[in-house]
Chains A and B, each alone.
Chain A
């Protein structure tokens, strides 16, 4: 709830949008998403379109827009592609799926559509990880943190490196030091 209030406050607050740190926060979140990709191993034989790593984006929010800037960046030698899904489009051939704020109502449907498939789901929606998403990004004070639902990640066949787990709040499985 508090997180939701905070997001709401940021949304309503013109100062927070205008000032430089807020812009940095967006860049910072983008860098987080990029790092998530670096620390995750997809199973062999996962759908890979010509070696690229596909980041799909459902809905719109600030971060959804900013993610376009990851296009062409290399993750362990594989270029990132960013694909924006239209209205009711179901994610296909995605290795990563970002669920933006405007897609909140479709969260359950989107998660269901990739259940058991090796798709790294990411969102800032409060409760996303508990609802079956893999990584939930949240802001606490002036810092960014994230929750990983390890149970969901394993069921999806994703291998998350200890380096990432060690920095996360881990739910859904044993916490790893």
Chain B
């Protein structure tokens, strides 16, 4: 043995106490994919193996997205246990329901910044996000308010975009497909004068699948137009500890198809635009044992009904019908700083604070030729909301195999006051193979401006509303049966209180509802051979009947996926998504909305040094699939039939 080897051996003995050997054993038992999924940033903001992070977490990578031929964020979310993407009749908006709750209980963030607006939730013309700008998506099933604040009762979806320093190759792509759909995109990563620069851009348009509605609320028949055009530009610049993101997105010529009330609207061409600036500072070693993060986020959102919403169609009595033209804009400014202290053995303590100013301005409305702008009758008030918040969390390694995460966040809203939301998670790494987690969390949803201040045709606002609150217990198991087979089981009990609904006559928003959801989420990932990968999940929920249940969401869902790299350079993906039946509430005599299965398949081929081709068939079996609607549209909303997409990418 050479001197060097001897020294190495001694160092090895000193530096590697027994328990770290066990950790290595555990790591070596994992697949590379699991290793790459480690150090998830969203759940505790401290590096963590995915299986041990104190939450039920799923990660979708850009590779996953490409393999399935997904063109939009919402296409890939269907494959996550507990997520149901529901098409809304108004504009075919993809509402993201998690764990059976209202979509308002899902917190959607892009690079950690909530996308929620004051008035409409995900934005009046929410259409998901183009897949080409996504690096990965991290999903927490379960409450997230102790870290992220409002609207995280059912879960958190954080989209991380391709940005400066993370784009390893340049790419240009084109896609065309059914319903006269086209898209072109570009990604670029480079270094200019000492700065990392990243750019993604996508322009797309479609005529929409335009379902035929046999009878709308007024008994009228016709096609609901769902065409739209989209522009998405994201520029990032990074140097050292600093990152700057400048993003722009725009929807135009967006056909809403049907009004919220369920009347065919062939007229509306909505448009909105959003630009944002984010300045981020991250320093892993700001001082001894301290790392520091600070951020400044600014966003401006502007939306308009274009020529107007057709509230009621022309008739003999009213030859012009009723046209409602409206427009508004919102600004959001957020400053936040947080620090992570690792100076106490066995503890990682994060503390932080921030401020949000969010206001609605430039509200304009002309209703049936009457200008309501700057009158109390306008559809929303020009108002500012301020949120002050503080949070703290400790990840405490109690013993070698035990870890306790305890945290809380206090939010103070200028309109309704304060709310404190704690969480606790106990994680036990029982063996190399089994991780057990017991988790408790509280969360809240802030009442929207519509509920607080905005009068609609159907509802009156209530300025005294309190936030909706929820409490969730989770018991989760992750089991690595072999290095190629991973299983997950999550049992949860989710109780929402003070739910807001419009009640009485005239109908006005009030707090008061309680709704309990219990459920089981099962998932499996199997690397069957070196070239064949299988994954699947099954969700089963039990929900209280009553006025606060979301009947549009099924109680049972299943998903299966296979990826077969049958030759070098080729991948064949097949996925099936089963949506269970949806019963009707009391007083709705219709039969339950039937269960359905949508099967998609994608073939992808990397050819030569630069080229990559893919073709996708969506709803391969042309299944009859319907999204649940209220009784106004008796037959529910037909979903797209079989459709074909083809794309080509050039890398340089």
Interface residues of A in 152-177 (CB under 8 A from B): 161-164, 166-167, 169, 171, 173-177
A169-B168 in contact given A21-B47, A27-B24 (Cβ < 8 Å)? yes
| Chain A residues near B66 (CB-CB < 8 A) | 177
Q: In whole Å, how far is B7's beta carbon from the nearest beta carbon of chain A? A: 10
Assess the A177–B8 pair: CB atoms within 8 A.
no
Which single member of B8, B290, B342 contacts A68 (CB below 8 Å)?
B8
Complex Cα distance, B397 from A141, in Å, reads 23
Interface residues of A in 106-140 (CB under 8 A from B): 140
| CB closest residue in chain A, given B567 | A162
Q: In whole Å, how far is B301's beta carbon from the nearest beta carbon of chain A? A: 28
Assess the B28–A14 pair: CB atoms within 8 A.
no
Complex Cα distance, B30 from A171, in Å, reads 26
Assess the B47–A142 pair: CB atoms within 8 A.
yes
Any A CB within 8 A of the CB of B38: yes
| Chain A residues near B9 (CB-CB < 8 A) | 68
Assess the B285–A31 pair: CB atoms within 8 A.
no
A31-B527 in contact given A1-B194, A142-B41 (Cβ < 8 Å)? no
Complex Cα distance, B397 from A69, in Å, reads 24
| CB closest residue in chain B, given A73 | B28
Per-position binary interface string of chain B over residues 20-61, scored 1 when its CB falls under 8 Å from any chain A CB and 0 otherwise: 110110011011110110110100001101000000000000
A13-B8 in contact given A1-B194, A177-B67 (Cβ < 8 Å)? no
| CB closest residue in chain B, given A142 | B39
Which single member of A2, A13, A27 contacts B196 (CB below 8 Å)?
A2
Per-position binary interface string of chain B over residues 50-92, scored 1 when its CB falls under 8 Å from any chain A CB and 0 otherwise: 0000000000000100110000000000000000000000000
Per-position binary interface string of chain A over residues 53-81, scored 1 when its CB falls under 8 Å from any chain B CB and 0 otherwise: 00000000000010011000100000000
Assess the B285–A162 pair: CB atoms within 8 A.
no
Assess the A27–B20 pair: CB atoms within 8 A.
yes
Assess the A143–B30 pair: CB atoms within 8 A.
no
Complex Cα distance, B27 from A35, in Å, reads 10
Assess the A86–B4 pair: CB atoms within 8 A.
yes
| CB closest residue in chain A, given B529 | A163
| Chain B residues near A12 (CB-CB < 8 A) | 285
Which single member of B11, B168, B565, B569 contacts A174 (CB below 8 Å)?
B569
Assess the B24–A30 pair: CB atoms within 8 A.
yes
Assess the B36–A15 pair: CB atoms within 8 A.
no
Any A CB within 8 A of the CB of B369: no
Any A CB within 8 A of the CB of B191: yes
Instruction: Tell which of B27, B196, B527 has the most Cβ of chain A within 10 Å.
Output: B27
| Chain B residues near A143 (CB-CB < 8 A) | 36, 38-39
A69-B35 in contact given A24-B47, A162-B568 (Cβ < 8 Å)? no
Assess the A13–B285 pair: CB atoms within 8 A.
yes
Assess the A174–B24 pair: CB atoms within 8 A.
no
Assess the A140–B4 pair: CB atoms within 8 A.
no
B interface bracket (residues with beta carbon within 8 Å of A): 35 or more
| Chain A residues near B285 (CB-CB < 8 A) | 9, 12-16
Any A CB within 8 A of the CB of B248: no
Assess the A31–B41 pair: CB atoms within 8 A.
no
Q: In whole Å, how far is A27's beta carbon from the nearest beta carbon of chain B? A: 5
Interface residues of A in 1-47 (CB under 8 A from B): 1-2, 5, 9-10, 12-16, 18-21, 23-25, 27-28, 30-32, 34-35, 39
Any A CB within 8 A of the CB of B354: no
| Chain B residues near A92 (CB-CB < 8 A) | none
Q: In whole Å, how far is A170's beta carbon from the nearest beta carbon of chain B? A: 9
| Chain B residues near A19 (CB-CB < 8 A) | 289, 342, 348
Any A CB within 8 A of the CB of B374: no
A69-B4 in contact given A174-B607, A177-B66 (Cβ < 8 Å)? no
Assess the B47–A65 pair: CB atoms within 8 A.
no
| CB closest residue in chain A, given B282 | A141
| CB closest residue in chain A, given B164 | A2
Any A CB within 8 A of the CB of B240: yes
Complex Cα distance, B46 from A112, in Å, reads 40
Which single member of A27, A34, A86 contacts B23 (CB below 8 Å)?
A27
Any B CB within 8 A of the CB of A48: no
Assess the B284–A177 pair: CB atoms within 8 A.
no
| Chain A residues near B36 (CB-CB < 8 A) | 143-145, 167
| CB closest residue in chain A, given B286 | A15
Complex Cα distance, B2 from A163, in Å, reads 38
Complex Cα distance, B283 from A5, in Å, reads 12
Q: In whole Å, how far is B404's beta carbon from the nearest beta carbon of chain A? A: 15
Q: In whole Å, how far is A114's beta carbon from the nearest beta carbon of chain B? A: 21
Assess the A163–B397 pair: CB atoms within 8 A.
no
| CB closest residue in chain B, given A30 | B24
Q: In whole Å, how far is B218's beta carbon from the nearest beta carbon of chain A? A: 49
Instruction: Tell which of A23, A86, A167 has the most Cβ of chain B within 10 Å.
Output: A167
Any A CB within 8 A of the CB of B166: yes
Assess the B8–A28 pair: CB atoms within 8 A.
no
| Chain B residues near A166 (CB-CB < 8 A) | 63, 565, 571
| Chain A residues near B397 (CB-CB < 8 A) | 20
Q: 13 more A-B contacts (CB under 8 A) besides A12-B285, A27-B23? A: A18-B289, A19-B348, A31-B30, A32-B32, A65-B12, A142-B41, A143-B39, A144-B35, A162-B530, A171-B169, A175-B612, A177-B66, A177-B605
10 cross-chain CB contacts under 8 A: A9-B285, A18-B342, A20-B348, A25-B39, A35-B35, A84-B5, A167-B36, A171-B169, A173-B609, A174-B612
List chain B positions with a Cβ less than 8 A from chain A. Answer: 2, 4-5, 8-9, 11-12, 15-16, 20-21, 23-24, 27-28, 30-33, 35-36, 38-39, 41, 46-47, 49, 63, 66-67, 165-166, 168-169, 191, 194, 196, 238-240, 284-285, 287-291, 342-343, 348, 397, 527, 530-531, 533, 565, 568-571, 604-612, 614, 651
A-B residue pairs, 10 tightest by C-beta:
A13-B285, A31-B27, A162-B565, A19-B342, A169-B168, A142-B39, A177-B604, A21-B47, A35-B32, A177-B571
